[in-house]
Amino acid sequence: MTPPAIEEHAVSGRDSGPYAITTGPDGALWFTMVHSGRIGRLNPGHEPTSHQLAPDSGPTVISNGPDGALWFTEYRAHRIGRITTAGRVTEFTLPTAECGPFGIAAGPDGALWFTETAADRIGRLTTDGTATEYPLPRTGAFPSAIAAAGDAMWFTMNQANAIGRIGMNGRITVHELPTEAAAPVGIAVSPDGSVWFTEIAAGQIGRMAPGGRITEYPLPDRSARPHAVTTDADGTAWFTEWGGNRVGSVTSDGKLAVHDLPTPASEPHGITVGPDGALWTALEVGALARIEPDTTRTTMNTEQRNAS
């Protein structure tokens, strides 16, 4: 069987730290550079460009907004940023100081929802800059990534070993994970409503079916440190192995494949479906990798651990 073709595209110096990535409304790839405080843009086939923020701001996760702009978290500066496709930047200070915003995603209500890792809160920011914060029912939970689903947002609670759901009314429900100390990070919702998440400390990918049943898929390398996850149009989950230097995929019936990246120790983080239909991941060593899905890829059935 033929593995997918993987190409790497240099977009910055090795010290800039490309971290999260998304496809913007202009059909380009937009990504954060956490170490240099920049927002980058790559139109495949063209030279990359970037926009400088405060060097120590720590831009982390970036997402499409409801207003045709890109929105991102500034983890070190404790702000939310907005950048238009023309490169104009606006920044919003949050109500809670030193809150450590990390994940961000547009909600079904037309606002931006984000996690506050250091404050145990989920935040909501309207496009005109009005912020609301919702305390979690756990302390020390370290809420991390967040994703939209129907009429709610789903998020990981990295240190509480759970995933959470928050409705548009602010009501929060917590779902415990079967594996202890799994430390979930990335989260995504597939077209069928399944919630996929990475378990960075357990070396597993988790899936919560629409009915609430959780299935965990152990990776071949349990020390791979799976980090980010996204889903394609078929509902397949694609994820990065930060510690294993790989990109992988898993289907809802447990068919799993992992693929080595060309550059050793490239530190893959964010992953998204690109404007060309391929998967793109941000490599902290200064590049974006393009993975062309191959329906003939070698798959392996994984042992599944189920929980109701």
Asked if residues 235 and 251 have their Cβ atoms less than 8 Å apart, the reply is yes
In the annotation, is 269 catalytic? yes
Distance CA 65, CA 71 (A): 6
The DSSP secondary-structure symbol of 5 reads P
> Strand 29-33 to strand 279-283: parallel, antiparallel, or no bridges (unpaired)?
unpaired
Find where tokens 């495949």 sit.
44
Neighbouring CB atoms inside 10 A of 82's CB total: 19
Distance CA 104, CA 111 (A): 10
List % helix, strand, coil for the chain (3-state, nearest 5).
0, 50, 50
Point out the catalytic residue in the list 35, 78, 227, 269.
269
Long-range contacts of 159-167 (CB under 8 A, 24+ apart): 159/183, 160/136, 162/138, 163/187, 163/195, 163/197, 163/206, 163/208, 164/122, 164/136, 166/113, 166/122, 166/134
36: left (phi over 0), alpha (psi -120 to 50) or beta: alpha
Which distant-in-sequence residues (6+ apart) come within 8 Å of 69 by Cβ?
A: 82, 83, 84, 85
Find where tokens 């990535």 sit.
21
List the Cα angle 66/194/177 in 5-degree steps.
110
Half-sphere exposure of 41 (CA within 13 A, CB side): 17
Catalytically annotated residues = 269
